[in-house]
Amino acid sequence: MRALLFLASLGFVAAENGLDGWLRYAPLPCSGHCHSSLPSSIAVLNATETSPVYVAGTELQNGLKGVYGKHVKVSHTKCKSSSLVVGTLDQYREHCGPVHGVPELEEDGFWLNTKGKNVQIIGQNEKGALYGTFEYLSMLAQGNFTKVSYASNPAANIRWVNQWDNMDGSIERGFGGPSIFFEKNRTVEDLTRVREYARLLASVRINAVVINNVNANPIILTPENLDGVAQIADVFRPYGIQVGLSLNFASPQTFGGLSTFDPLDASVIEWWSKITAQIYERVPDMAGYLVKADSEGQPGPQTYNRTLADAANLFAKEVKPYGGIVMYRAFVYNQLDENVWTDDRAKAAVDFFKKLDGEFDDNVVIQIKYGPIDFQVREPASPLFANLPKTSMAIELQVTQEYLGQQSHLVYVAPLWKEIFDTDLRVDHKPSLVRDIMTGKRFNRKLGGSAAVVNVGTNTTWLGSHLSMSNLYAYGRLAWNPADDAEEVLKDWIRLTFGLDRKVVDTITRMSMESWPAYEQYSGNLGIQTLTDILYTHYGPNPASQDNNGWGQWTRADHTSIGMDRTVSNGTGYSGQYPEEVAAMYENIETTPDNLLLWFHHVNYTHRLKSGKTVIQHFYDAHYTGAETAQTFLTQWESLHGKIDTERFNHVRRFLDYQGGHSIVWRDAINDFYYNLSGIPDEAKRVGHHPWRIEAEDMKLQGYKAYDVTPFEMASGTVAVVTTSNTTAGIASTRIGFASGKYDLAVNYYDVYGGKAEWKVYLNDREVGQWVGNGEDTLSHTPSTLLDGHSASRVTFRNVKIHKGDTLKIVGKPDGNEPAPLDYVSLLPAGIVD
């Protein structure tokens, strides 16, 4: 006991693995009127253990005990004598009498009142009561004892998450380990993690989860698997969360053995009726179906010349009697030809869907990605939002950072979402914020809201890295109220996740708010898209991969010019898909904001931006600025040493250190690529000039040989070195010509999947440091088997004392198919980033 107290007084913080997310209920000191302000007994107005109200009671008990060490008794009827009451309006009236002062509550809404004698948490329904409970606990866990009484209602009834989990347990674009739902083509037996996920989702008011990948495997529909789905639904239900399923459109044929999957064929309709009945028999409150069809190789109604509405309505009619809905993805497009100047994938959604407006059943919701391409670092809001006034819509977002650093880069995405939500599309010259369209308010639709692809896995961090959980938290908060402020939401998350220390809150806020702008700066600027490798992992840089293929994520970059001409006057006509005022703004290069210039216009590299810089100089400068900002994330984080438990501190530290290095990989790859293409030098003479570098290929090599990296811009000086043998170590050495002094010694190498090579660095035979190529186990992003922008990594040894003439030696021991590759060494005096 004494030892514990002693540690506590030193600010000891217990190791944490992230499993509880923002629901840690970590202890806070109870000072002032704290104890007397806390309830001492709780009336929970439903005694059924599987009811959300019952769950709310358990959370309250755990929360009060965890945060303030206060044990409270729970009763199920004694309303009057308890100091906190939680239940629905109806339950309250029944057990406690008339309610006073509660404004009209909408579905899922709640009333929270801490001003009176008793704390009242009253939901319009049981879900609402649970949401109100989490709200109250969030206040207490942030040390907030403000007396409040207010109602909170959702802006939208669709607040879903999508998991792209495959039946074999892998997750498409998942970076936090394998599925918590499936393994070996079956649902899992141990549903502990499912319950923990349900708790996190309910706390941010998510009301449904689609558990299987949109690229759906029909074996989800076997009787055994549907039994498993029912068990999963049973776990989610007490948390107010419904389960939904993704369907494979061809299932009647590929799985059901019919000769067709034509949506208008009677046998196909009958087949889906039977399947739907089998599902609802097991899961009576199934939320509905999610459908991706006629997209990226997925089968769809076009096979039979049927419309997308024919397909959506087929399912809509099946789920209607059970109260289900159909989320039909707008992500439909065909392969295109870049030689055709007017071909444009961004136009596809409006081309396919606009003509069908009014033909969808009223329980169909079109699920529309925020931008018209694919979760890029910057896109304009999808014009489809402005083109379906007679159809229900939901926005699709990504919590999983498919194109945004795959959780190995800190990118707080909520500010990006907010820019989309707050875009005014001026439909019929009236205010038409995307957030009011998606929630159904603008066009008076009953259904509307959002779905986010989340893709948590079995990793205890859920998403693969601790800091990326801010995106899941913010998603839920903004799904409930898209008018909320991204920074305020973030601060709540930080206090709940890392505690109330002012410096911790300020530092993580600053880093997070700087992270999306920095990522945009060192990946793709001016609306050119993320410039990641779109043909392979979607992770590291590869600008050339955007063009010369049918996927339509083109940049149309050549020796003199770059950008997609999407104007009506001379381009693809995409800008004309927006309502008049917005179309006019984007049509005109003078009124197009710089940050979307290359999205809408094809210009010379020498074109001058509103800032006065040329396009190419902006690229160069932004990449340097972004990478510089990314270096500060590590130092900012390290300033929190001692204020965060060691386990999470070290995990995050490792990720930010890696990100700093990889941001330089991004910077140089993109800058070298466009310098090479345009031939226009950087005015500041940085691009292609690296005075503090020693190229590995210029060192004395024994057991190492030069290796031409493709694409060329993925290696400094286009060349790396690899060991000549798969078993014997290679040695690269050189005499250092720099002045004596203290340097940061950075080594750029490639961490290839399929081996764990080991490197050691020596100065005059004294070991300075060593590392292992094991990023595939310790980081979250998709690994690469090649020497490229995904595997390129940097390790830094700080403050190394160096004397002019010292011999620098690196010994690389190959392993598997990782030939201990080296790109270059940087010796960086204080303040230099290169």
Q: By CB under 6 A, is residue 817 in contact with ligand NAG?
A: yes
Q: By CB under 6 A, is residue 563 in contact with ligand NAG?
A: no
Convert 142-201 into a string of H (helix), E (strand) and C (coil). CCCCCCCEEEECCCCCEEEEECCECCCCCECCCCCCCCCCEECCEECCCCHHHHHHHHHH
Q: Which stretch binds ligand NAG (CB under 6 A): 42-50, 195-203, 272-280, 791-799?
A: 42-50
Least separation in angstroms between CB 465 and ligand NAG: 6
Residue closer to ligand NAG by CB (options 339, 444) is 339
Indicate which single residue of 83, 185, 595, 625 sits in contact with ligand NAG (rule: CB under 6 A).
185
d(C-alpha 647, C-alpha 16), whole Å: 6
Rg value, the chain, Cα: 28
Site string for ligand NAG, 763-802 (x = CB under 6 A): ---------------xxx----------------------
Strand order in the sheet with 73-75: 73-75, 41-44, 84-88, 119-123, 110-113, 149-152
To the nearest 10 degrees (0 to 180), the angle between helices 126-141 and 52-68 is: 10
Residue closer to ligand NAG by CB (options 441, 613) is 613
Least separation in angstroms between CB 355 and ligand NAG: 16
Q: Which stretch binds ligand NAG (CB under 6 A): 47-55, 203-211, 369-377, 528-536?
A: 47-55
Residue type (1 letter), 54: Y
Q: By CB under 6 A, is residue 46 in contact with ligand NAG?
A: yes
For residue 796, the SS3 value is strand
Site string for ligand NAG, 318-357 (x = CB under 6 A): -----------------------x----------------
> Residues 16, 262, 374, 788: which is the catalytic one?
374
Q: What is the DSSP string of 466-513?
A: GGGHHHHHHHHHHHH-TTS-HHHHHHHHHHHHH-S-HHHHHHHHHHHH
Site size toward ligand NAG, by CB under 6 A:
39
Q: By CB under 6 A, is residue 570 in contact with ligand NAG?
A: yes
Q: By CB under 6 A, is residue 305 in contact with ligand NAG?
A: yes
What residues does 603 pair with on adjacent strands?
A: 562
Indicate which single residue of 41, 70, 102, 168 sits in contact with ligand NAG (rule: CB under 6 A).
168
Q: By CB under 6 A, is residue 553 in contact with ligand NAG?
A: no
Q: Which of 375, 569, 520 is nearest to 455 (CA)?
A: 375
Least separation in angstroms between CB 807 and ligand NAG: 28
Residue closer to ligand NAG by CB (options 278, 817) is 817
| 296 labelled catalytic | yes
Indicate which single residue of 62, 81, 144, 259 sits in contact with ligand NAG (rule: CB under 6 A).
144
d(C-alpha 311, C-alpha 316), whole Å: 9
d(C-alpha 122, C-alpha 88), whole Å: 5
Site string for ligand NAG, 103-142 (x = CB under 6 A): ------------------------------------x---
Least separation in angstroms between CB 488 and ligand NAG: 9
Residue closer to ligand NAG by CB (options 395, 463) is 463
* Region 365-424 residues binding ligand NAG, contact defined as CB under 6 A: none
Indicate which single residue of 192, 548, 650, 726 sits in contact with ligand NAG (rule: CB under 6 A).
726
d(C-alpha 583, C-alpha 326), whole Å: 31
Residue with tokens 């019929």: 428
d(C-alpha 318, C-alpha 311), whole Å: 11
d(C-alpha 663, C-alpha 10), whole Å: 36
Q: Which of 316, 314, 319, 367 is nearest to 158 (CA)?
A: 367
Residue closer to ligand NAG by CB (options 196, 436) is 196
Cβ proximity of 722 and 700 under 8 Å = no
Q: By CB under 6 A, is residue 639 in contact with ligand NAG?
A: no
In the complex, residue closest to ligand NAG by CB:
51
Q: By CB under 6 A, is residue 217 in contact with ligand NAG?
A: yes
Residue closer to ligand NAG by CB (options 50, 548) is 50
Residue type (1 letter), 587: E
Indicate which single residue of 184, 429, 446, 685 sits in contact with ligand NAG (rule: CB under 6 A).
184
Residue 202: phi and psi, rounded to 5, are -65, -35
Q: Kindly report the CA angle at 67 between 66 and 72, in degrees rounded to 5?
A: 65
Residue 641 C-beta-side C-alpha neighbours within 13 Å: 5
Which pair of structure tokens corresponds to residue 371? 């931008």
Site string for ligand NAG, 448-477 (x = CB under 6 A): ----------xxxx--xx------------
Q: What is the end-to-end Cα distance of the chain in Å, rounded? A: 50
Q: Which of 431, 445, 332 is nearest to 388 (CA)?
A: 445
Least separation in angstroms between CB 407 and ligand NAG: 8
d(C-alpha 123, C-alpha 108), whole Å: 7
To the nearest 10 degrees (0 to 180), the angle between helices 308-319 and 266-282 is: 40
Helix count (H) and strand count (E) of the chain? 21, 29
Least separation in angstroms between CB 597 and ligand NAG: 13
Site string for ligand NAG, 655-684 (x = CB under 6 A): ---------------------x--x-----
Cβ proximity of 24 and 496 under 8 Å = yes
Indicate which single residue of 77, 273, 549, 604 sits in contact with ligand NAG (rule: CB under 6 A).
604
Indicate which single residue of 50, 611, 639, 710 sits in contact with ligand NAG (rule: CB under 6 A).
50
Q: Which stretch binds ligand NAG (CB under 6 A): 22-30, 48-56, 618-626, 640-648?
A: 48-56
Q: Which of 327, 323, 330, 367 is nearest to 350 (CA)?
A: 330
Indicate which single residue of 108, 419, 565, 823 sits in contact with ligand NAG (rule: CB under 6 A).
565
d(C-alpha 776, C-alpha 782), whole Å: 8
Q: By CB under 6 A, is residue 51 in contact with ligand NAG?
A: yes
Q: By CB under 6 A, is residue 230 in contact with ligand NAG?
A: no
Q: By CB under 6 A, is residue 719 in contact with ligand NAG?
A: no
Which pair of structure tokens corresponds to residue 416? 């990006």
| 402 labelled catalytic | yes
Cβ proximity of 115 and 149 under 8 Å = yes
> Residues 94, 227, 296, 488: which is the catalytic one?
296
> How far are the Cα atoms of 142, 410, 653 from residue 495, in angstroms, in the given order?
6, 18, 19
Least separation in angstroms between CB 119 and ligand NAG: 13
Any idea of the CA torsion for 786, 788, 789, 795, to the nearest 10 degrees? 80
Residue 381: phi and psi, rounded to 5, are -60, 140
Q: By CB under 6 A, is residue 725 in contact with ligand NAG?
A: yes
DSSP annotation of 223: H
Residue closer to ligand NAG by CB (options 163, 461) is 461
Residue closer to ligand NAG by CB (options 66, 755) is 755
> Residues 16, 196, 262, 402: which is the catalytic one?
402
d(C-alpha 786, C-alpha 382), whole Å: 35
Q: By CB under 6 A, is residue 809 in contact with ligand NAG?
A: no
| 645 labelled catalytic | no
Cβ proximity of 424 and 433 under 8 Å = yes
d(C-alpha 427, C-alpha 578), whole Å: 8
Residue closer to ligand NAG by CB (options 468, 521) is 468
Indicate which single residue of 83, 282, 304, 628 sits in contact with ligand NAG (rule: CB under 6 A).
304
Least separation in angstroms between CB 112 and ligand NAG: 8
Interacting residue ranges for ligand NAG, rule: CB under 6 A: 46, 48, 50-51, 91, 139, 144, 146, 148, 168, 177, 184-185, 217, 219, 304-305, 341, 458-461, 464-465, 560, 565, 570, 602, 604, 676, 679, 712, 718, 725-726, 778-780, 817
Which residues does the annotation mark as catalytic? 296, 374, 402
